[in-house]
Structure 1
């Protein structure tokens, strides 16, 4: 295609093959013959979708992040990685340092990072997988324990109701006795 950049009709014909979803629908709804040149088509496309560009962030946005109180580790890790992906030219070790500052202290993973700091976010994410599974398993065990405790309490209430002597509850019941 680079060799045919000056071939307006060809460029206009090939352009929609790179589109999908709403962008393709936008292109299909253009009136036939409404574009004078490929440059004109490009300008209209950019003006249509200019607001959809992902904003970039600077390194400061990583250093101002904090794991929220009660936020599970997986959600925090995902949120951090999303912001990290928007930072242009971030040195891997700098991202790891920002992550260590952002996460909740006194957790197993934080201690693990302090003892043996990974050199890249890829290495950090690999290590984090094990801790995510551990957190999920602990949450599952907590739910199971809670269900067992609730079941025991329910059975105890039923047992107590069965052993409590039945007393008449009204004067009508007393007359019948």
Structure 2
């Protein structure tokens, strides 16, 4: 609309048609005639929703992730990695500690302690080897 030189009034009228859920509610609660330009609307929108972006989580949230009783290793890794991706600048040692802490007692955990991986890449390397054996035994 800016490129086509559309007037502020039209942009302000068109703006709410692009909003969904919380943004639409925010817009509906604005005081009528409280905004006079599209730039002002844009600034208020940005200042209200800039805090709405998802913040990175702390590594503390990983400590609560535990492998469930009947959960396959592959599923646990997927769940753990999804949470780990939300962490800002995760330390490899903490990732390894949280991951191993959440594992059920068993052969894979024993093999990790035996091989003493230093990074999550090492853990995943051993996990892939273990899962291949698991898959072969199931087949």
**TM-score > 0.5 by shorter chain:** yes
Unmatched 5+ stretches in structure 2 = 4-16, 20-35
Structure label with greater radius of gyration:
1
Runs of 4+ in structure 1 deviating by more than 4 angstroms, as ranges, are 45-51
1:102 deviates by 0.6
For 2:18, the equivalent position in structure 1 comes to 26
1:88 deviates by 2.4
The superposition leaves residues 120-177 of structure 1 with CA deviations (integer Å, 9 ceiling, x where unpaired) of: 11222222222222222323x2xxxxxxxxxxxxxxxxxxxxxxxxxxxxxxxxxxxx
TM-score if structure 2 supplies the norm length? 0.62
The superposition leaves residues 104-134 of structure 1 with CA deviations (integer Å, 9 ceiling, x where unpaired) of: 1122x21221012222112222222222222
Q: CA contact under 8 A between 1:66 and 1:103: conserved in structure 2?
A: yes
Q: Secondary structure at the match of 2:127?
A: helix
For 1:97, the equivalent position in structure 2 comes to 97
1:36 deviates by 2.2
> How many equivalent residue pairs?
109
Quote the RMSD (CA, aligned, Å): 3.0
For 2:112, the equivalent position in structure 1 comes to 113
Pair 110,26 (structure 1): closer, same or farther in 2 beyond 3 Å: same
